[in-house]
Chain A
Amino acid sequence: MIGQLKIALLIFLVLAVFVHGCKDTQTSPPHLPQEGASVLRIAVGRDLYDGPDSRSFIHGNLNAWESLTYLNEKLQPKEWLAESWQMSEGGRKWVFQLRGGVVLHDGTSLTQEMVVANILRYKKHPKYDPYGLYRDLLSIQPLGKRGVAFFLEQPFPHFPAAINYFGSALFHPECFNTNGQFIKFIGSGPYRFETNKNGIIRLHAHAVYWQGSPPFKTIEFWYIPDAVTRLNALKAGQVDAIADVGGILPHQLTELSQSKHLLIKRTTVATTHFLLFNTQRLPFNDLSHRTWLSTTLDRFRMTRYILGEAGIPADSLWTPLATDWYERVFPQGPSGSTPTQFQREIPVSILLHGGTLQRWPYKDIAEMIHSHLNQAGLKAIIRIEEAGSFKESLKRGNFNLALHPFTLMTGDPDIFFTWLMTVSPLILGAESKTMESWVAKARYEMNREERRRIYASLQKWVAEKRLLLPLYHDVVFYAHKESLHGLSLDPIFRPNLMAVSMNKNLHGQ
């Protein structure tokens, strides 16, 4: 009897400890080892190291390299390493004036020759120019004291926007071997790349950065693939911030908002999430079936219940931030049309990329679509595949529906249509020729109004054909310790690391 009582008492004690631990109260943050305010640790949900055989070796979010131009809040081009630009010869010649006083991480100054060498690398090795920005480049040469002239075969109306950010990432020419691969890294950003070890990319301040001295001595980007661990690392004080697109999942916001000492911020970014149709395969080879799903799938409800404030129901092909090109061509909400007669024995496969699940609530969205299809008497399966297999399935048409994000990185519709033509040949099918000719026409059209008209028609055409369905525009939530000031993400989710500072009195709280 006494033995049984002892067991009961012990079990009670264990349970009490767990229940106390699970109580939703916040204790003071932990006293973990800190290196002091000179180190800023940012958690991200993806690997920002691209490797030597890539365009830029590391992602632009790291603030280690810069480009000739960048984008403003309206996704229009703004000056960066180029302080101005001029167009002539009907859009066939663009001259960019380089900013003075730009010093690279090895102490050398940025020269016109360096820019030429970098652009020729993109031209010579098309794998580093996936969107073909320099396909029409005839030559590039230094001009005057600080100018660099681009001579193009065709007029390029949106050239400064197209070459922003990744489009003209600049490095010391000594960084590349003859194959264009990186052998070392020398950029011009406020932080220079030091190491990539154990999933942590370490950067050090570039003391002679042209915008001034960076606020932190060291910045670390911690790649934490698991969303729960990422959030716990912030709550436990092991990292100072989570700042990246998909860094915080919508369902984590409630939990996060209950945490003291943490600030949550939001920004609308240039990413839109799509439902892609395989228009070459049953049942969505039939326009009426695509129309039915597009008009009855309640994107308002989806956004409200799954995303909360982390998404805006999409009624356009790209982000409303691109005000110059924004057209509302996809009516929202159920239209009331009745389900069409499907061949019920064919199960519809909804394809998901496994790597996106820890960054966006794609599984929840897929389940909602699954349920919607089931209600219409259509069998459906959700298939989650790793990156390579996912791309392979898209290419070979081994899907009926797929969820896919797209970011309007240049702020110009040309990049969207280029993506649409390449993401899967099974979306456009026979329509690809039509689209190609329209896109080429718009790409070289110098009359802005005419370009706008072509893109408006193209958007309407895509909407009428129901080639894809924009589900929502992304609103990124990011969070940091309250001791951190000035951290912000821009529409292409690059953190502004020059504006960040740490309140030493609050640091470590």
Chain B
Amino acid sequence: MVSYMIKRFLFLIPLWLGISFVVFIFLQMAPSDPAEILLRKEGIDPTPEALVAKQKELGLHESPLLQYGRWLVRVIRFDLGTSYRTGEAVTKELSDRLPATLELTLISFMLIVLFALAAGLMTSLKSHGVLDRIGLILTIAGTSIPSFWLGLLLIYLFSVKWGWFPVMGRGNLFHLVLPALTLSFGITLVQARLLRTSLQEILNQNFITVAMAKGVSRSRILLIHALPNALLPFLTTLGMTLGRLLAGAVIVETLFSWPGIGRLAVEAILQRDYPVIQGYILFTAFLFLLINLCVDIGYRLLDPRIESGSM
């Protein structure tokens, strides 16, 4: 198992390097010259001579590959550069905002796991029953409603009309409810539906029929025999869900003025703060890869039949 984990971890390195290369190339292709941005920020007229001097100072005159190498070395040393806007280190900017995003993402993730499990189990108990049909309708609705619209609706009802929760900002648990609901709503319903389908398949298999014939209780069959088998596809998509949550947090954080890294990214994009944009993409990519690694390991723990070679 340990060798598998090391192997999987080592596999992340080329993947992350690939991502970092793509990020670097994309930002190289951006329409403006970092030398010019910095010169303007320093109040210097970007004459051709000044530009050449600045490009030399920043190493921009070197080949892109060499530039990439130097940049990579700095990144490995956790030096993602300095924000053009605030003058703070990008790593500090990201680490200041990260707790808020993690809080929102993890709570949303917990909501997804809890509600999807509960709803999946309940709807699978009686196929085509009342709950199952409601679940189907809600799933269609949940996947059709864009998160920003759902967020606005929730704000209107629960904050403006009824005053139960704050409209925006980060603070106590009350502040978390609406953003977390907005972020998790659609995904929860899809996950529940997935689990329900998977459970239905398992419940129709022979070993379940045998267990029922032997008089094993319904709840035991569902929780002990069917659920672990049905969890595998659920867990795979759950891993991807975390990535979706991180990406979705950009919209939800902007809508609810939630001070996380998603909102930081939007502000950086609006103000063309390249080091922050670069840092954000690299960091979220790293986080995403790490989450997938955890999911893979969890997958293997749940089903030891899966061999490392088949991954």
Contacts and interface: CB of A to CB of B under 8 A. Distances in A.
Nearest to A47: B267
A36 interface: no
Contacts of B267: 47
A236 B167 contact: yes
Contacts of A10: 130, 134
Contacts of B75: none
A232 B170 CA distance: 16
Contacts of A235: 160
A224 B263 CA distance: 11
Contacts of A3: 129-130, 133
Interface in B267-295: 267, 269-272
Contacts of B255: 226, 229
A7 B133 CA distance: 8
A154 to B, nearest CB: 21
A259 B152 CA distance: 18
Contacts of A21: 156-157, 161-162
A200 interface: yes
Contacts of A354: 270
A499 B257 CA distance: 29
A30 B259 contact: no
Most buried by B among A27, A386, A388: A388
A238 B167 CA distance: 7
A128 B85 CA distance: 14
Most buried by A among B171, B174, B254: B254
A222 B41 contact: no
A contact face: mostly helix, strand, loop, or mixed: mixed
Contacts of A228: 152, 155
Interface residues of A, number: 49
B228 interface: no
Interface in A30-58: 30-33, 47, 49, 51-53
A316 to B, nearest CB: 31
A438 interface: no
Nearest to B37: A388
A224 B257 contact: yes
Contact of A11 (B137, B161, B174): B137
Interface in B222-247: none
Contact of A53 (B87, B257, B271): B87
B207 to A, nearest CB: 30
B49 interface: no
B272 A233 contact: no
B162 A232 contact: no
Contacts of B248: none
A168 B193 CA distance: 63
A198 B87 contact: no
Given A7-B134, A232-B159, 5 more contacts: A21-B161, A30-B159, A225-B266, A236-B160, A236-B163
* 4 closest residue pairs by CB, A with B: A30-B163, A127-B43, A388-B272, A198-B259
5 contacts: A28-B163, A30-B159, A51-B86, A51-B87, A127-B41
